Amino acid sequence: MSVRVRGVEILEPVTGAHPPNHTAGRWAVHGTDLGILWDDGAGGVLCAFGDTYGEGWCPPGTGPRTADWRFNTLARSTCADLSRGLVLDEMVTDTDGHAAEVVPRTGRRSERTVIPTAGIAVDGRQYLHYMSVRRWFLPGRWRSNHGGIAVSDDGGRTWTRDLAARWPNRPFGRRTMQMGAFARSPRWVWFLHTRNGRRGPVFCARVDPAEVGDPAAYRHWTGSSWSPRVRKARPVASGPAGEISVAFHTGLGRWLMVHLAGGRIVLRSAAHPTGPWTDGETLVDGARHPGLYGGYLHPWHLDGDAAYLTMSLWGPYAVYLVRAVLDRS
């Protein structure tokens, strides 16, 4: 059994000087990307953005650094009706009308930026997986210092980077756990993850919900069993895989994975997080939408025939809401 994409519609922008959010005027968020979504467990959905720019920014893409650059920002939404767009109620701010950088930087020269990759709420605590970027290369290739976890106990307003909650990278960027996606089942928190960049395969780990912030508690799928050693991990889905989003769709009875694959955002499905995962079916094609990336499922719309996700476009450097109609085949 697989999941078929019946239709896709690009809805309103989520960020920029556009309705419904007008983030440029309300929070000095002129250009940003990603829009990673997760249920905060308190009646809202948190939305984490990557490198964010304010006054002085102009497209295409990122920069300059002098344009009120923040490594990351965070919004909250209670919008349940997404038919006209994803409405943001508020953003974490440091001054009135100015979105704050929420995951703090270390100040080290080797850390170019701190980019969120996944989030989850467990028992009132927010966990945000991030990657510390060391160096950028050609598009789709970069080197991270480490993947790590930041925690918040006040709904995402303040965050702490746990120095012990890190997965160090190697000089050639071959370590996993650098980027990923959290997902929840009744027993486990799942973390499907990749190396840095957008070229590698997907791996799978699981952890007890009470131990999400402890790297030693994660167990990694070896192809036949679970190991405490991340080096034993074997891929559960082939690459190339960029940014990942994973969730269980109760209406379809399948796990869904959305990720960038070359010039497309694709949808894959499986009966279990360890796979086997179907080949990627195109959700959005880069031939029609150049510079696309991301693809993060909205957690409140995983029971009907329509799923919603955020998508980034490099040129306008903005996040858009996408509606996909799905069925089983």
CATH number at residue 131: 2.115.10.20
The values of phi and psi at residue 236, to 5°, are -105, -15
The values of phi and psi at residue 231, to 5°, are -65, -20
Beta carbons of 274 and 204 less than 8 angstroms apart: yes
Q: From first to last of its 329 residues, what are the pLDDT tens digits of the chain?
A: 789 999 999 999 999 999 999 999 999 999 999 999 999 999 999 999 999 999 999 999 999 999 999 999 999 999 999 988 999 999 999 999 999 999 989 888 899 999 999 999 999 999 999 999 999 998 889 999 999 999 999 999 999 998 999 999 998 888 999 999 999 999 999 999 999 999 999 999 999 999 999 999 999 999 999 999 999 999 999 999 999 999 999 999 999 999 999 999 999 999 999 999 999 999 999 999 999 999 999 999 999 899 999 999 999 999 999 999 998 87
Question: What three-state secondary structure class fits 328?
Answer: strand
Question: Cα torsion at 11, 13, 18, 19 (round to 10°)?
Answer: 50
The values of phi and psi at residue 72, to 5°, are -165, 155
Task: Give the whole-angstrom CA distance, residue 127 versus residue 275.
Answer: 25
Beta carbons of 103 and 21 less than 8 angstroms apart: no
The encoded tokens of residue 123 equal: 């028992």
The encoded tokens of residue 114 equal: 């701190």
Task: Give the whole-angstrom CA distance, residue 301 versus residue 136.
Answer: 35
> What residue numbers bound the domain in which 156 lies?
3-328
How confident is the model at residue 291, as a pLDDT? 96
Task: Give the whole-angstrom CA distance, residue 265 versus residue 194.
Answer: 16
How confident is the model at residue 139, as a pLDDT? 86
How confident is the model at residue 272, as a pLDDT? 98
How confident is the model at residue 2, as a pLDDT? 85
Rg (CA), the chain: 18
Element containing residue 191 per DSSP (H, E):
strand 189-194
pTM for this entry? 0.96
Task: Give the whole-angstrom CA distance, residue 200 versus residue 216.
Answer: 23
Question: What three-state secondary structure class fits 295?
Answer: strand
Locus of tokens 């960029």: 242
Task: Give the whole-angstrom CA distance, residue 81 versus residue 312.
Answer: 21
Pairing of strands 254-261, 264-270: antiparallel
Order of strands, sheet of 281-285, starting from the edge strand that comes earlier in the sequence:
244-249, 254-261, 264-270, 281-285
The encoded tokens of residue 116 equal: 């969120």
Task: Give the whole-angstrom CA distance, residue 174 versus residue 230.
Answer: 12
**Number of domains forming the structure of the chain:** 1
Q: Which of 189, 54, 77 is nearest to 129 (CA)?
A: 189
How confident is the model at residue 297, as a pLDDT? 98
* Position 93, amino acid: T
